C-alpha cells in the first residue's frame, strides 16, 4: 500500500462510496438526454463544484430548461448549435458559457460531453466546471495586453485589430469610415523645456480630451510616442473633418498646466475607399498628417 493509500486506509481501486465521492467532486458530472421531440433533461447530475446557484437539481432531472433559461443571451444559441452539431455528427461538445446568477452577476462554466445514440434519442456523458476565476484573470490579462500604460487608450496592436474589423464592416455594408491620425506639434520642445514627466502628463491629458470629445463608437488609440489615431465608423470625410477641427481647436485652447497655446496638434484624415488595403488607408492619412505638419502645424488636412 502506498503512503497515500495508507492515509485513506484503502488499497488502490478498492471500492469507494461512489455517491459520496461524486458529491465531493470539484465539478459536476452528468448525463444529459435529448429525446426525438427535442425535450432535454438531466437523468443524472452529481458533484458540487459548479454550484448552479438558484437552480433546483431535482427540476433539472425533469427538464433542462431550468438551467438553459439562465444562460447568457449570447451563449444560448451557441450552446444549442453545439448540442445540435454533437447530436448530428456524434462529435463531443467542448464549450463554455455564462450562467446568470442575478441581474448583474454571472458565472462561467466549462462543459465537456460525449454523445451516445440511445433508443430514445441522444444521451451525453459529461462534466461541467466553474471557470469564473480563470475567465476574470484572462480578461484582466487581455485588457493589459490591449491597453497603453500611460494613457489607458487602446495600444497600437489593439487599434490595428479594431481598424481591420471596421474596414471589414465598411467593406461588407458599403458604409463610410474615416481614419484620423493626430500628432503633437514640437513635442520634443515640450519635453526639453518642461521635462519628461510633464510631457507624460500632457499625453495623458490629451488622451482624456480625445475620449471626451469623440463619440462613444469611435475607437481611440495611441500608436506610439506622441502619435494617436481615431477610427470613426459610419463617418464620411465631410463629417469627420469638422469633428477633427473641433478637436484640434479644443486642444489648442486647453490648459495643460503649461502656458496655454503651447500644445497644439496636427491632424491627417483619410476616408476608406472600398477594397483598399488597411495599410494604404493608413498611408493616405499619414500623408495628410505630413502635409498638415508641412503647412505649419496646428491644422487638419484631408
Least distance (Å) between residue 28 CB and ligand GTP: 49
List all residues 6 or more positions away from 256 whose beta carbon is below 8 Å from its beta carbon.
201, 202, 205, 206, 262, 263
| CB closer to ligand GTP out of 75 and 148 | 148
The whole-angstrom separation of Cα 127 and Cα 109 is 10
Q: Which of 97, 108, 187, 256 binds ligand GTP (CB under 6 A)?
A: 187
Tell me how far, at minimum, the Cβ of 271 lies from ligand GTP, in Å: 24
DSSP 5-52: HHHHT--TT----HHHHHHHSSSEEEEEEEETT--EEEEEEE-SSS--
What cell does 3 get? Answer: 503512503
Q: Which is nearer to ligand GTP, 75 or 226 (CB)?
A: 226
Place of cell 449570447: 74
Residue 100 or 156: the one with the smaller Cβ distance to ligand GTP is 156
Report CA dihedral (10, 16, 20, 23) to the nearest 10 degrees.
100
Phi, psi angle pair for 210, to nearest 5°: -60, -45
Q: Which residues are catalytic?
A: 226
Q: Which of 166, 185, 218, 271 forms a contact with ligand GTP (CB under 6 A)?
A: 185
C-alpha cell belonging to residue 133: 476565476
Q: Does 257 bind ligand GTP (CB under 6 A)?
A: no
Return the H-helix or E-strand segment holding 212.
Answer: helix 196-213
Closer by beta carbon to ligand GTP, 10 or else 188: 188
Mark residues 119-158: x for contact with ligand GTP by CB under 6 A, - for none: -------------------------------x--------
Minimum distance, C-beta of residue 178 to ligand GTP, in the bound complex (Å)? 22
Residues 6+ apart with CB under 8 A from 138: none
Is residue 242 near ligand GTP by the rule CB under 6 A?
Answer: no
Q: Given the rule CB under 6 A, which of 5-13, 106-114, 170-178, 186-194 is the region that contacts ligand GTP?
A: 186-194
Q: Which of 93, 207 has the CB closer to ligand GTP?
A: 207
Question: Beta strand 300-301 with 265-271: parallel, antiparallel or unpaired?
Answer: parallel
Candidates 82, 203, 263, 267: give the one binding ligand GTP (CB under 6 A).
Answer: 203
Binding residues for ligand GTP (CB under 6 A): 150, 183-189, 191, 196, 199-200, 203, 225-226, 293, 297
Amino acid at each position: 500500500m502506498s503512503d497515500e493509500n495508507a492515509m485513506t486506509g484503502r488499497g488502490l481501486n478498492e471500492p469507494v462510496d461512489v455517491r459520496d465521492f461524486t458529491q465531493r467532486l470539484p465539478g459536476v458530472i452528468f448525463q444529459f438526454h435529448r429525446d426525438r421531440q427535442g425535450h432535454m433533461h438531466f437523468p443524472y447530475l452529481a458533484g458540487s463544484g459548479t454550484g448552479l446557484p438558484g437552480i433546483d437539481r431535482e427540476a433539472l432531472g425533469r427538464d433542462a430548461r431550468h438551467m438553459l433559461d439562465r444562460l447568457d443571451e449570447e451563449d444560448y444559441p451557441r450552446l444549442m448549435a453545439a448540442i445540435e452539431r454533437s447530436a448530428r455528427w456524434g462529435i463531443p461538445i467542448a464549450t463554455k458559457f455564462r450562467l446568470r446568477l442575478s441581474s448583474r452577476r454571472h458565472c462561467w462554466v466549462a462543459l465537456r460531453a460525449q454523445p451516445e445514440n440511445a433508443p430514445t434519442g441522444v444521451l451525453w456523458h459529461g462534466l461541467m466546471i466553474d471557470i469564473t476565476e480563470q475567465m476574470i484573470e484572462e480578461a484582466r490579462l487581455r485588457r493589459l495586453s490591449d491597453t497603453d500604460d500611460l494613457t489607458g487608450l487602446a495600444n497600437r496592436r489593439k487599434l490595428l485589430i479594431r481598424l481591420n474589423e471596421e474596414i471589414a464592416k465598411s467593406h461588407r455594408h458599403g458604409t463610410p469610415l474615416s481614419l484620423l491620425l493626430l500628432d503633437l506639434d514640437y513635442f520634443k520642445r515640450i519635453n526639453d523645456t518642461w521635462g519628461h514627466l510633464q510631457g507624460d502628463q500632457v499625453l495623458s491629458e490629451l488622451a482624456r480630451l480625445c475620449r471626451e470629445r469623440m463619440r462613444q463608437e469611435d475607437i481611440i488609440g495611441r500608436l506610439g510616442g506622441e502619435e494617436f489615431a481615431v477610427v470613426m465608423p459610419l463617418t464620411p470625410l465631410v463629417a469627420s473633418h469638422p469633428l477633427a477641427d473641433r478637436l484640434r481647436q479644443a486642444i489648442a485652447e486647453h490648459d495643460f498646466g503649461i502656458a496655454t497655446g503651447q500644445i497644439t496638434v496636427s491632424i491627417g484624415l483619410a476616408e476608406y475607399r472600398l477594397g483598399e488595403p488597411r495599410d494604404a488607408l493608413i498611408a493616405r492619412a499619414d500623408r495628410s498628417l505630413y502635409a498638415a505638419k508641412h503647412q505649419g502645424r496646428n491644422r487638419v488636412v484631408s
